[in-house]
Structures are given as structure tokens and as C-alpha cells.
Amino acid sequence: MPRSRSRVDWRNWPAGAECPPRSYTHTITIVIPSPLHARFEQEVLAQAERLRTAVASAARPGAAETSPLQPAIAWMPYGPDAADACVEMAADLGAPAAEYSAIRRGVGVMDGFTRGTLRVRGADRVAFLQRMVTQDLKELKQGEARESFWLNRKGRVQADLLIAEFGDEMLMDLDRFAAAATVEQLRGFLFSEDVQIDDVTAATGRLALHGAAVLALLQALGLPSGMLEQDRSCAACTLGGIATRAVRRDLAGVPGVELFMAPDAVVPVFDALLAVGLSQPVRAVGWHAFNVARIEAGSPRFLVDFGREALPHETGVLARRVSFRKGCYLGQEVVARMESLGKPKQRLVGVRMQEDRLPVAGAEVHVEAAGGEVIGAITSSGPAPMLGSACVAFAMLKYASGEPGTRVRVAAEGDWAIGVVQPSLRFLPGGTP
């Protein structure tokens, strides 16, 4: 049944922040639940029982009786600003610190319901997309994947794509709310080519795995050794007896794998993953844990850190999405002119705060001097456990203000704090993403 609720713009609100002001909310009339809703609720109840048992077994004779806090799942709506419909995803499953730890030490299993899926078939699919998207797909082979942008004629980003070639078809991963428009736009350029493009989001179940032990976990369920060893690779496989297609994409500074399957297989695959019994922690994780990990790793998100008005040169991920060695594609003239003749008005940068104050997305960024001009805004932020919980953020700044080492003044927790622009979006050791 349709439900109404107040929608917090969660993308602009970090874990642990106080409730947002009323201006950050609006009413949603339709909330589409994920297939994992009931299973996540069961998992949280199981966590609560394990905690209760552990506390009871540790009690000393004569000690005061202890009642542990009960874990509770926090749900959040996901969808475009001012939309009447959204999907519902888990912010956390009652233990965000443990969920983050699973990503760094073991495996975090994340609901993929916010993602869209396009299927591209036909003998001319590679040649057609080569003329459409920003990445060079000419030499794309079975088992490989590429990141790319889909632009409009003005060179503005309309979708951020992960394109995986499986031999019999391609699968595209993109934001759920960009899928329908992207299919319609691409179909508009088809003439006599042997290409079929379909939005199969509703007919595809999705899970996302992030963690140091992802490959070990998948191999325990049947992934052949040697598959998915490289970032941006893909494979068709059987996991726990269920046909699955897997695409590796390392978004959190550790191996990451997107799983595609039939919708009714999501819960069985989820259960199989959690039942493997690795020595490393394997647990369901929500948005907050993943958000912190992907900011640390320098992975901006389309419709979160940059939107449909952004030029590729403004996104901070130009090198991973755009080839300057290929021929024409939609919006190519704008991209080439920007590369050879000019600079964008703004760019996405990483900012490390110099004080223990965390700015929220939307917070103004000023030049360092008191009363200085506004030069941009925070797009994502979080405390980085890998950096001793230092406050880090992505910010879209005027181009001239985005040079590494630039000190900026940021509104944070009701006061002003100094931040320093970093050499890249990535805060973890190891260079640019």
C-alpha cells in the first residue's frame, strides 16, 4: 500500500548527525520496499538475541542485572529531490561501527535495490555504444567492464555507467532513477542497428558486496578461482546453486562486487552469503557504513556529489570515465573543447578538516579569510576511521579555489572550521582512485 512520510534528504546528512531542519524534508506518497526488508528485520532481531545471550552469560553472581541496548534498523528513503516516489533502504542495521568494520576486515553485504540495471543485446551493441558513451569500448572483451558517462548534446552528465560484457549480452549498472530516461534516450539514436536495449531493473535482483574477504566468500559459494581477480572485470557464475552475474567494482578501497540475479533469488543468496562461516566478519551493512568507506576511498556518487548539470571535467573522475583517444560520441565536442582550450567553472575535490567538526552536505565553503566569498559547498562528508576519525568531505568548489593545499573555511556544527583541499579525492593511502 502507498505510504506517506517525511523524506529526509539522507544524501546530505551524515551518520550520527542531529535531526535536520524542516527545510530538508518533503512528503513522499509512494515508498517501494526492498525485497530484503523482512530479512533485514529478522537479522537485527537475531543480533539482539545474540547480544542478550552474550550479556547474560557474562553476568557475575550478585551483580546488578544488565539490560543491553536493543539494535534497531534505521530505514531511509532513496530518490530524487522533490520526487513523489522513492525506494527504501537501510541506513544501518543497529551497529554502524561493526558494519564499517566488516567492510574493512571481512565482507559487508549491502542491499542493491537503489541501483538500476539495463540489458543490451544484439550483434552491434559494442559498435553502437562506442558512438554513444564517453569511454572507449572498441576493444571491450568478454569478462571485462568499463566505467563511462552518458552525456547529452551539451556535454552534461545524464548517467554514470558501469558497462559489463558477458559475451551474450551487456549489463549496465546505473542509478535506479536514471535507468528509464537513459533507455529512452539511447533508443532514440537507434536506426537499423542490431541492438536491443531494455530497462530490466524491476526484473533484476541486486546485492553489493564490499570487503577485504569478498573473493574468499564468493569462492566458498562456487565462484571459480581466478575469476574477478581484477577491478572492472565480470563473470557469469553459480553461487549456492543460483545463477548469478557478477561485476567487480572497487568503490570502498577494498574489493567490491555487484551481483545480478532473479528477484526471488535475492533472499536465498543473501542467506547463503551470511551462512558461509568465514573467519572474517560477514554481515549486512547499510548506507552509513558504505558511505564512510566510499568517501575514504575517493568514490563520488552520481546524483549525490555531482548531478545532471555537471560536466565530466567537474566530477573528479574524468580519467576513469572518459577516453580522449576514441572518435565521436554525444557531447564529445564540449568535452574535447574543455580539455584543450579551457577549464571548468568548478570541480569536485577532497577536503580534510583541520578540526574535529564535521560539515554536512550543503554546507557553504568560503575562502579562509573571515567574511570571505562563498566558493562552493560540501556534497558528502563523514568521519574517516582509517584516518583516526578525522572529518573528511567532498566539496564542489570554484575551479581556482580547488588547488591542492588551499585552505578553506567551512560551516560545521554551528561554527566555522578550517579545511584543506587534498591532492585527490582519495583519502586512503595508495594514490588516486
Hey, what's the cell of 143? Answer: 569478462
Mean pLDDT of 409-417: 93
pLDDT confidence bin for 72, thresholds 50/70/90 = confident
Indicate where the chain has its CATH 3.30.1360.120 domain(s).
91-344
pLDDT confidence bin for 7, thresholds 50/70/90 = very low
C-alpha 123/C-alpha 327 separation (Å) is 20
Residue 24 is predicted with a pLDDT of 40
Angle between helices 287-296 and 96-105 (to 10 degrees): 50
Amino acid at 84: D
Mean pLDDT of 172-191: 97
Hey, what's the cell of 90? Answer: 537501510
Contact indicator for 111, 40 with CB cutoff of 8 Å? yes
> What is the CATH code of the structural domain delimited by 345-433?
2.40.30.110
Residue 77 is predicted with a pLDDT of 85
C-alpha 129/C-alpha 329 separation (Å) is 9
Q: Is 341 in a helix, a strand, or coil?
A: helix
Is residue 404 over pLDDT 80?
yes
Residue 319 is predicted with a pLDDT of 95
- Residue 7: which of 91, 73, 96 has the closest Cα? 91
β-bridge mates for residue 121, sequence order: 196
Is residue 20 over pLDDT 50?
no
Residue 291 is predicted with a pLDDT of 96
> DSSP of 21-42, one letter per residue?
PGGGEEEESEEE--TTHHHHHH
Residue 433 is predicted with a pLDDT of 59
> What is the second-level CATH architecture of the domain 91-344?
2-Layer Sandwich (3.30)
Q: What is the pLDDT of residues 307-354, one digit of tens each?
A: 999 999 999 999 999 999 998 999 999 999 999 987 899 999 999 999
Q: Is 238 in a helix, a strand, or coil?
A: strand
Is residue 16 over pLDDT 70?
no
Query: Do the strands 234-239 and 25-28 form a parallel or antiparallel pair, or are they unpaired?
Result: unpaired
pLDDT confidence bin for 146, thresholds 50/70/90 = very high
Is residue 18 over pLDDT 60?
no
pTM, to two decimals: 0.90
Residue 3 is predicted with a pLDDT of 27
Residue 348 is predicted with a pLDDT of 98
The overall average pLDDT reported for the chain is 89
Q: Is 255 in a helix, a strand, or coil?
A: coil
Residue 51 is predicted with a pLDDT of 72
Burial annotation 35-50 (CB, 10 A radius, 16+ → b, else e): bbbebbeebbeebbee
Q: Is 174 in a helix, a strand, or coil?
A: strand
**pLDDT-above-70 percentage for the chain:** 88
Is residue 364 over pLDDT 50?
yes
pLDDT confidence bin for 27, thresholds 50/70/90 = low
Question: How many CB atoms within 10 Å of residue 74?
Answer: 16
Q: Is 353 in a helix, a strand, or coil?
A: strand
Q: What is the CA radius of gyration of the chain?
A: 22
User: Which of 40-44, 54-58, 95-99 is predicted with the least confidence, judged by mean pLDDT?
Assistant: 54-58
Per the model's pLDDT, the better-predicted residue between 284 and 430 turns out to be: 284
Cα dihedral: 340, 344, 348, 354 (round 10): 110
Residue 36 is predicted with a pLDDT of 92
C-alpha 171/C-alpha 235 separation (Å) is 11
C-alpha 368/C-alpha 336 separation (Å) is 34
Is residue 155 over pLDDT 80?
yes
Indicate where the chain has its CATH 2.40.30.110 domain(s).
345-433
C-alpha 76/C-alpha 309 separation (Å) is 26
Is residue 59 over pLDDT 70?
no
C-alpha 118/C-alpha 116 separation (Å) is 7
User: Which of 150-164, 246-260, 263-277, 418-432 is predicted with the least confidence, judged by mean pLDDT?
Assistant: 418-432
pLDDT confidence bin for 79, thresholds 50/70/90 = confident
